Amino acid sequence: MTTPLALLTPVSPPSSAPLAQAAQRVFQQLLLGFQTADLSAVLACFTEEATIEYPYAPQMGTAARLQGQPAISQYLHHALQGMPALVFSQLRLAHDVAQGVHWAEVHCEAPV
Q: What is the pLDDT of residues 63-76, one digit of tens each?
A: 899 999 999 999 99
Q: What is the pTM of this model?
A: 0.74
- Do 44 and 77 lie in a common domain? yes
- Do 98 and 65 lie in a common domain? no
Tell me how many domains the chain contains: 2
- Do 96 and 73 lie in a common domain? no
- Do 55 and 68 lie in a common domain? yes
Task: Put residue 37 in one of left, alpha, beta given phi > 0 → left and psi -120 to 50 → alpha.
Answer: left
- Do 10 and 44 lie in a common domain? no
Q: What is the pLDDT of residues 8-65, one digit of tens each?
A: 667 777 778 888 888 888 888 998 898 888 999 999 999 999 998 888 888 988 889 9
- Do 13 and 31 lie in a common domain? yes
Structural domain for 14, as ranges: 1-37+85-112
Residue that wins the pLDDT comparison between 42 and 112: 42
- Do 32 and 45 lie in a common domain? no
The b/e string for 80-89 (b: 16+ C-beta within 10 A; e otherwise) is eeeeeebebe
pLDDT band at 1 (very low <50, low <70, confident <90, very high): very low
- Do 43 and 73 lie in a common domain? yes
CA-only gyration radius of the chain, Å: 14
